[in-house]
Amino acid sequence: MRQKFPAVYQHVLTRVKPERDANNRAAYRDNWWVFGEPRKDFRPALAGLRRYVATTETAKHRWFEFLDSSILPDNRLIVFASEDALHLGVLSSRIHVVYALRAGGTLEDRPVYNKSRCFDPFPFPACDAAAQDRIRQIAEELDAHRKRVQAQHPGLTLTGMYNVLQKLRAGEALNAKDKQIHDAGLVSVLQQLHHDLDAAVFAAYGWPATLTDTEILEWVVALNAERAKEEVAGLVRWLRPEYQVGSPKSEVRSASEQTLLTVEDASGKPEKKRGGKLPWPKTLAERVKAVSAALATVKQPVAAADVAKGFARVKVEDVGEILETLCAMGHARRGKAEGTFLP
């Protein structure tokens, strides 16, 4: 580079090298002129795929789409190494979007999709071939619809389309600009596609489509806990078994192998009763959240009975079962003494 592009080399030498010299990561410090490191796990995961699912890390609206394998993603894209429209459909459903918005972070007022929290623990439905094919069909149609209208109208953006879709869902009036986007993007068709996709995904889970957002979170957490127990028993529901089996460091993982879900309930933090004890939550999702939060405050190993003291009308064995599950999923540690736990 110094011989062919001396001006570029000088820029990197004076602007990049001083920072890299202080970097604790040897690969960045020693190879200071190299932009980054090869993704040894990620690139093999994409090998042989004609397309992959992607979403932007930070966005006002959460949507997923297929990108051609010739497109090299940058660090602002979250990539899922799958060309299966089933995965695109489930990720695009209300069930996943509601969970991702709650589990992910924020940048100013925009949601951030954190893969380790939004995707890795998310349990996909275990359904029959007919249900899978139904989701695939609608997901393919959804992806094709958005690409088609954007090709016909180069100035049309997905953000603009989903802004109008949000207004349609809320029953708000459309202004002149909204109406232009609605007509160009056929946003009512987009709305119907999402409606049909949600119905298909709810059916695949065997859940009622009338669930509220809070109920969706509870049901996802409960299903994740079931999957955690399955994996402890040796049953792993791989998303890409032909790639994942025998490749534990692959980018696409089983639904719950990373960490047990602990999402904030929409009702907020529970109030303490007299005597300083918290009420024992009614649902599994709330119980997991409460036990995890209680464990996070300890600085030395505690037993299930110790954690149970912080709750009113609770069975020690119930707390113990949740602590064991948290340990199995890597969300807690065992103390040196038998039957004790640490965050």
pLDDT of residue 276: 57
Structure confidence by residue, pLDDT tens digits, 40-97: 777 888 889 999 999 999 999 999 999 999 998 887 899 999 999 999 999 999 999 9
Contact 287, 221 (CB under 8 A): no
In angstroms, rounded to a whole number, what is the distance separating the alpha carbons of residues 205 and 200? 9
Q: Which residues contact 62 (CB under 8 A, 6 or more apart)?
A: 55, 97, 100, 101, 111, 113
Is pLDDT above 80 for 250? no
Structure confidence by residue, pLDDT tens digits, 285-331: 778 878 888 888 777 889 999 999 888 888 999 899 899 888 877 78
Structure confidence by residue, pLDDT tens digits, 213-245: 999 999 998 898 888 888 888 888 888 888 877
Least confident of 137-141, 226-230, 262-266, 291-295: 262-266
User: Which is more confidently placed, 102 or 260?
Assistant: 102
Q: Which two tokens stand for residue 9?
A: 């080399």
Give 134-166 as a DSSP string.
HHHHHHHHHHHHHHHHHHH-TT--HHHHHHHHH
pLDDT of residue 247: 61
Task: State phi, psi for 80 to the nearest 5 degrees.
Answer: -115, 120
As a whole number, the mean pLDDT across the chain is 87
pLDDT of residue 252: 44
pLDDT of residue 335: 87
Query: CATH number of the domain at 278-342, please?
Result: 1.10.10.10
Domain boundaries of the chain, sorted by first residue: 1-37, 41-212, 278-342
Beta strands in 192-285 (DSSP E): 278-279
In angstroms, rounded to a whole number, what is the distance separating the alpha carbons of residues 226 and 211? 19
Q: Shortest CA distance to 99 belongs to which of 230, 225, 217, 239? A: 217
Percent of the chain with pLDDT over 90: 50
Would you say the pTM of this structure is higher than 0.95? no
pLDDT of residue 246: 65
* DSSP 3-state of 202: helix
In angstroms, rounded to a whole number, what is the distance separating the alpha carbons of residues 313 and 265? 21
